[in-house]
């Protein structure tokens, strides 16, 4: 069975962030920074509950011709942005991985207690 994981960590500025990694530990999705761990975890649960059906994957091309997407809520709020991919097919495969892995992905909390308080 394929398994993904949401990895929660701190940024240097004290904000919380997460990334979604596939079974090979490759990052497929990275979040923005959140002021609270609670907000960060809430977005993870939103993705886990909705990625397969309700989230919108807004696809783009950079000025350098690389492909990426933004994960949006149904009302258009940007939840997070993907890495850049060399081809459209790589980007589309990453979207499919999110649809397949997010709902069952474990949450790996790497925030140290001293960093949280």
pLDDT digits (tens, 9 = 90+) for 29-63: 889 899 999 999 999 999 998 887 767 899 999 99
What six digits make up the tokens of 77?
């709020």
Give kind and range of the element (H or E) at residue 106.
strand 106-109
pLDDT(114) > 80: no
Q: What is the mean pLDDT of the chain?
A: 89
pLDDT at 24 over 60: yes
Q: What is the DSSP string of 5-49?
A: EEEEEE-TTS-EEEEEE-TT--EEEEE--BSSHHHHHHHHHHHHH
pLDDT at 116 over 80: no
Mean pLDDT to the nearest integer, 4-12: 94
Q: Which CATH number fits domain 5-112: 3.40.50.300, 3.30.230.80, 3.40.50.620, 2.30.29.80?
A: 2.30.29.80
Q: Report pTM.
A: 0.82
Three-class HEC string of 43-81 = HHHHHHHHCCCCCEEEEEECCCCCEEEEEECCCCCEEEE
Looking at residue 78, what is its pLDDT?
Answer: 87
């Amino acid at each position: 069975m394929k398994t993904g994981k949401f990895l929660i960590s701190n940024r240097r500025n004290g904000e919380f962030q997460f990334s979604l990694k596939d079974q090979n530990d490759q990052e497929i999705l990275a979040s923005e920074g959140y002021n609270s761990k609670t907000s960060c975890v809430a977005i993870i649960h939103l993705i886990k509950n909705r990625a397969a059906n309700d989230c919108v994957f807004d696809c783009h091309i950079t000025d350098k011709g690389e492909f990426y997407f933004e994960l949006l809520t149904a009302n258009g709020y940007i939840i997070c942005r993907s890495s850049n991919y060399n081809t459209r097919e790589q980007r589309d495969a990453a979207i499919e991985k999110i649809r397949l892995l997010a709902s069952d992905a474990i949450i790996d909390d790497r925030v140290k207690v001293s960093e949280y308080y």
